[in-house]
Structures are given as structure tokens and as C-alpha cells.
Copies of this chain bind each other. A is one copy, B any other.
Amino acid sequence: MTSGTATERTTSRAGETWTIAQVADEFGVTHRTVRHYEDLGLITPERRGTQRVYHRRDRTRLSLILRGKRLGFPLEEIRTIIDLFDAPRGRRTQLEYVLGQIDERRADLEQRLRDVQDAIAELGEFEHRCRDDLGRLDEP
């Protein structure tokens, strides 16, 4: 799936690269979206001359971005989160900062987890009521 139909652009070894069109439709977004993420500093593809060249690192980031979006995080917040993964952790103060950020993120995510679980549960109860109604329609 990594090789395009027309212009072959993948190196096909370890160190594959992709064009903007390839990553865009592989991830189901437009090239405009991909470039928008670059404008905001969420991805920084290599440049070969004027052209953008995407590596696996960029694809990893893109999938993190899209999952973040599915979870309703704003792009700016997503940036701080994925930057966290690449942040320098050499000194103790840096590590402790990162660990603190992790805790904040986790608290946020666990709230969302509860919200989703509650919503699914309520949906289940509602379905039960509906099925009851449906049953009463058959044998009154």
C-alpha cells in the first residue's frame, strides 16, 4: 500500500518515505489538514527542496493527533501532549516535570473514560426500555 500508482516515491527499504498525498489519504484527511497540523507545529516533515517528505515518525504523530481529535482535544493541547513524548528527560527536574504532566493527562483521560462508560451504560438502559416497549406491542 506504500507504493503509489503513478509516481513511485517510496524508498521501499528501512527508511520509507511518503508524499503528502499518500499520508493524507492513508489517514483519511485532506492535504490541507496535514499542512494545517504542520502550521501549528504538530508535525515537521523533512524538506527535499521544496517538497515535503514524510517519515514514519510523522505518521506516528499523525495517528496520535487523530486519536486526540476523536477524543475531543484541541489541537494546541494535542501538540503539548505529543511533544511531551519527545521532550528531553536528561535532568531530574525535566523528568519530574514530565511525570507531573503525565499525571494531569491521566486525570483528564480517566474523566473521559468515566464519561464514555456512563454514556454507554445509559444507552444500554435506554435500549432495554425500548425493547420492553417493543415487546408490549406484540402481546398486549
| A109 to B111 CA separation, bound complex (whole angstroms) | 15
| A120 to B111 CA separation, bound complex (whole angstroms) | 11
| Interface residue tally for chain A (C-beta within 8 Å) | 35
State the oligomeric state as a number of copies.
2
Contact with B along A87-123 (1 / 0, CB 8 A): 0010010011011001001100111110111111001
- The reply to whether B123 and A70 form a contact with Cβ atoms under 8 Å apart is no
Q: Contacting A67 at CB < 8 Å: which of B99, B113, B119?
A: B119
- Taking A113-B116, A116-B112 as contacts, is the C-beta distance between A102 and B89 under 8 angstroms? no
- The reply to whether B95 and A130 form a contact with Cβ atoms under 8 Å apart is yes
Q: Interface on A for B, CB 8 Å cutoff?
A: 67, 69-73, 85, 89, 92, 95-96, 98-99, 102, 105-106, 109-113, 115-120, 123, 126-127, 130-131, 133-134, 137
